[in-house]
Amino acid sequence: MFIKRDPLAEATEMGCCGCFGFSFAKKPKKVVRPRVFGNYTSEESLLDQEMEVEDGEFDNGDVTDTGNGDDSDLQSPVRRSEEILNYRLQNSLICREVPVKETHKLVRSEDENGNKMINEYVREYKIGSGSYGKVVLYHSSVDGKYYAIKAFHKSHLLKLRVGPFETAMSDVLREVLIMKTLNHPNIVNLVEVIDDPTTDHFYMVLEYVEGKWVFEGAGPPGGLGESTSRKYFRDIICGLMYLHAHNVVHGDIKPDNLLVTASGTVKIGDFSVSQVVEDDNDELRRSPGTPVFTAPECCLGSTYHGKAADTWAVGVTLYCMVLGRYPFLGDTLQDTYDKIVNNPLYLPDGMNPLLKDLIEGLLCKDPERRMTLEGVSEHAWVIGEGGPIPRYLCWCKRNSRSKEEVSNGSAVDLLA
């Protein structure tokens, strides 16, 4: 990695703690102060702690409310997302030719070498963890392929409050519902869900992306370099444009959620805080993802537009890839938010003018004037020598067009 771990960098691992009021004036009348929800008393208590758990064990932790709403907000964003997603699934309005496999029987055993197994999957080793559960590498005894399996304990998820109306179980189930509708080469694919009602275990079987994190590739100490950054960035934009076209707001775009395959393709993962909106109404209330990547308008404490917030996070990610540091990072959480809201954007004098123009457009503090993903995809720096970003014709769009062609008597085969 080209970013060293230190107390300041750990701010990127903080869960969102809420926001504070500000204006876009250059000289604010008062010092901005973050609103802290729950029992947060220090920066350290806001850090996402990795959970070292073995099968059958879980630290239940404290019940914590990290949402921005109040009890009078009867229509929660999560509930609305679930309604939209269930409607899509029930009416086959999904972007998958092959549905996600659903398994309701869990068999825990060992293979001939004493390795733990869940159903057909043989355990290799743990590859990640978070506040909800862990991610373990398995290989299938049926097809021989490797899979990344997210493992949860339902009792633990049900005890963790993440908002006035939701528990962590709501987040996980919404993540599953979202991934059941998606299929794109720049999105991590959900293969199977294992949920046995007679056990406390819950598993998400995901495609295993064997490459490294975006920040772990070879490159100069200050960043990945323009060529590699452009290649990765084009994949990120392609995947995010697909999500937004399907009215999915990711909510936590950052390098840690961007996986790179062995062939160098970037895939967007982790939809645990994602939301689904209806039509163009992407107004959300619950604060998104990671503070260092949070857009200024999300700090108002009221509503914000989710797609514009995703675009800001993409800008922060590009800044990190190119320069190897964060554009706005303070000594404390409050200081970090203060910088996001009020500090001007710093870019080196010798930066490529096209790249500088792109980053300035993405990191425009006013969401109304911020560059759109469509504009990003047509930007000269993004096009580079690779040409325009390919327009992926997804399954649901191809299927829809195919039906239209059939109804019009056309022999064009759009599914080829």
Structure confidence at residue 308 (pLDDT): 93
Mean pLDDT is lowest, of 57-61, 166-170, 247-251, 350-354, for 57-61
* Domain boundaries for CATH 3.30.200.20 within the chain: 77-207
Q: Is 150 annotated as a binding residue?
A: yes
CA distance 281 to 245: 12
pLDDT digits 0-9 by tens, 208-245: 998 766 555 444 556 888 999 999 999 999 999 999 99
Q: Do the bridges between strand 190-195 and strand 101-103 make them parallel or antiparallel, or are there none, so unpaired?
A: parallel
Could you tell me which residue, 186 or 217, shows the higher pLDDT? 186
**Residues 6+ away with beta carbon under 8 Å from 171:** 78, 132, 157, 162, 272, 273
* 148 contacts 139 by C-beta, under 8 angstroms: no
Q: How far is CA 74 from the centre of its chain?
A: 26
Beta bridge partners of 110: 116
- Other beta carbons less than 10 A from residue 349's beta carbon: 5
* Domain boundaries for CATH 1.10.510.10 within the chain: 9-49+210-383
* 131 contacts 120 by C-beta, under 8 angstroms: no
CA distance 205 to 395: 22
* 163 contacts 17 by C-beta, under 8 angstroms: no
Please tell me which residue in 171, 195, 235, 252 is annotated as part of the active site.
Answer: 252
Mean pLDDT is lowest, of 52-56, 267-271, 379-383, for 52-56
Nearest to 394 by CA among 378, 409, 414, 379: 414
SS3 content of the chain, % helix, strand, coil (to 5): 35, 15, 50
Mean pLDDT is lowest, of 241-255, 270-284, 352-366, for 270-284
CA distance 361 to 372: 9
Beta bridge partners of 150: 135, 204
CA distance 232 to 224: 10
CA distance 207 to 191: 7
> What would the CATH number be for the domain defined by 77-207?
3.30.200.20
User: Domain 9-49+210-383 is of which CATH architecture?
Assistant: Orthogonal Bundle (1.10)
CA distance 184 to 175: 16
pLDDT digits 0-9 by tens, 249-262: 999 999 989 999 98
Let me know if 252 is a catalytic residue: yes
Alpha-carbon separation of residue 207 from 102, 137, 146, 191, 235 (angstroms): 15, 10, 7, 7, 17
Say what the pTM is.
Answer: 0.78
> What amino acid is encoded at 159 in this protein?
K
Q: What is the widest separation between alpha-carbon atoms in the chain?
A: 69
> Average pLDDT of 124-147?
91
